[in-house]
């Protein structure tokens, strides 16, 4: 088993605390993605697991055994870096063999492991080339192969796709997902790209300011964000946020009013509402034309299969909604919108989602 357990981890750089009392359990075989903006502590946390950054407090366990007291090479993890970190004077085969030779692995075993990893990653024809003769995507696969041959108990990926172009990044995401399905090892992947998180993770760990905001499956995080931060960070476009006030009770559910007087009936129990200010959160796909909320079209973003329309409400706030395909709408046009209250969210003044 290769479950990873983080127990009350903390990290300080001088007086600045970047990770504070963080605890998390990652089951064996899971593809966990640490997702968050730059500076939230996700890469620092990964480096702490790898042993490249000392802990200020807490413990790290892998498979039930404490590893934070061990040097990096003895922890049973392998890390893939953003910058590949390949030796330029060595061939692909030599790069993949380097770590194994350093620990005295027999030559025939090294050859077998390299052959198996190269076939899995489809880089067998590249084994005698040097890094300068490879594309960015090929170099990243070599870096992954170098980790695979070590047969670690857990793989750690530190934003490995950020240097690739959009097309190659998309293809490599699929390759990594397939790799996880084949070898079923525990993988921890760090990224600020929520598309990468949504498409690869079995579970997403959303981080903000050195703390965990939410842990859940991709669709759970998307559909049931626990905080306004998560709701705004996960999803493209970001969730719309509108200041509202509770106005009435509709069969036990909260009915709220927008600044222009328009109302939306939610499926959130009235009894759950705090007395403080409320924020209504609604995603673009849950807003449709043809309702009673007046708005004026400001920007149109045509994406082919869908069109995102940015419109201004009467109070000056912006709301984004989408329609399928190439819709016939023009900038400056007045539209009437309807918000699907059954898929709307309410957040309190503390930023926490209000649930029934």
19-31 burial, b at 16+ Cβ within 10 Å, e below that, comes to bbebeeebeebbb
Cα dist. 105→117, 150, 286 in Å?
16, 10, 57
Which pTM value belongs to this model? 0.90
**Token code pair at residue 42:** 């996700």
98-142, pLDDT tens digit by residue? 989 988 899 999 999 999 889 888 899 999 999 999 988 888 889
Q: How many residues does the chain have?
A: 356
Classify residue 255: in a domain, yes or no. Answer: yes
Q: What is the pLDDT of residue 251?
A: 81
Q: What is the pLDDT of residue 130?
A: 95
Question: Average pLDDT of 276-292?
Answer: 91
78-102, pLDDT tens digit by residue? 998 887 789 999 999 999 999 899 8
Distance CA 55, CA 48 (A): 6
The separation between CA 7 and the C-alpha centre of its own chain, rounded to angstroms, equals: 22
Distance CA 261, CA 121 (A): 58
Q: Which of 229, 248, 277 is the last residue of a domain?
A: 229
pLDDT band at 1 (very low <50, low <70, confident <90, very high): low
Q: For residue 191, give every residue at least 6 positions away whose Cβ sits within 8 Å of its Cβ, in sequence order, or none.
A: 33, 34, 35, 159, 161, 162, 197
Judgement on whether residues 221 and 296 belong to the same structural domain of the protein? no
DSSP string, 275-303: SS-EEEEE-GGGEEEEEEEEEEEEEEEE-
Judgement on whether residues 215 and 250 belong to the same structural domain of the protein? no
**Domain hosting residue 22, numbered range:** 4-229
Judgement on whether residues 212 and 267 belong to the same structural domain of the protein? no
Q: Which of 199, 229, 259 is the last residue of a domain?
A: 229
Judgement on whether residues 269 and 146 belong to the same structural domain of the protein? no
Q: What is the pLDDT of residue 155?
A: 93
Would you say residue 30 has pLDDT above 80? yes
Judgement on whether residues 140 and 260 belong to the same structural domain of the protein? no
108-119, pLDDT tens digit by residue? 999 999 998 898
Judgement on whether residues 180 and 257 belong to the same structural domain of the protein? no
193-232, pLDDT tens digit by residue? 998 999 999 999 999 999 999 999 999 999 999 999 999 9
Judgement on whether residues 219 and 265 belong to the same structural domain of the protein? no
Classify residue 160: in a domain, yes or no. Answer: yes
Cα dist. 183→39, 84, 152, 207, 353 in Å?
31, 21, 11, 27, 37
- CA dihedral 221→226→227→231, nearest 10 degrees, is 30
């Amino acid at each position: 088993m290769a479950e990873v357990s983080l127990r009350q981890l903390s990290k300080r750089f001088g007086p600045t605390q970047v990770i504070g009392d963080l605890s998390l359990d990652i089951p064996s075989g899971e593809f966990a993605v640490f997702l968050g903006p730059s500076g939230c502590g996700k890469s620092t946390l990964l480096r702490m697991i790898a042993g490249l950054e000392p802990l200020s407090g807490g413990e790290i366990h892998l498979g039930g055994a404490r590893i934070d007291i061990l040097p990096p090479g003895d922890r049973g993890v392998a890390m893939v870096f953003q910058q590949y970190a390949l030796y330029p004077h060595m061939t692909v085969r030599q790069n993949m063999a380097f770590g194994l030779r350093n620990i005295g692995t027999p030559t025939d075993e090294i050859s077998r492991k390299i052959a198996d990893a190269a076939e899995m990653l489809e880089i067998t024809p590249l084994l005698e080339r040097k890094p300068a003769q490879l594309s960015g995507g090929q170099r990243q696969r070599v870096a992954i192969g170098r980790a695979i041959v070590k047969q670690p108990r857990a793989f750690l990926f530190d934003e490995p796709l950020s240097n690739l172009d959009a097309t190659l990044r998309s293809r490599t995401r699929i390759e990594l997902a397939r790799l996880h399905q084949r070898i079923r090892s525990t993988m921890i992947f760090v990224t600020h790209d929520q598309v990468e998180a949504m498409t690869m993770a079995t579970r997403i760990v959303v981080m903000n300011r050195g703390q965990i905001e939410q842990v859940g499956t991709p669709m759970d995080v998307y559909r049931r964000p626990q905080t306004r931060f998560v709701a705004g960070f996960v999803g493209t476009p970001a969730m719309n946020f509108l200041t509202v006030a509770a106005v009435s009770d509709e069969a036990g559910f909260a009915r709220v009013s927008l600044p222009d007087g328009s109302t939306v009936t939610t499926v959130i129990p009235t009894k759950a509402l705090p007395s403080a200010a409320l924020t209504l959160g609604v995603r673009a796909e849950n807003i449709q034309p043809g309702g009673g909320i007046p708005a004026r079209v400001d920007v149109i973003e045509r994406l082919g299969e869908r069109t995102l329309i940015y419109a201004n409400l009467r109070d000056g706030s912006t709301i984004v909604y989408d329609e399928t395909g190439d819709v016939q709408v023009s900038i400056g046009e007045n539209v009437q919108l309807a918000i699907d209250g059954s898929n709307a969210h309410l957040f309190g003044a503390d930023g926490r989602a209000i649930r029934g």
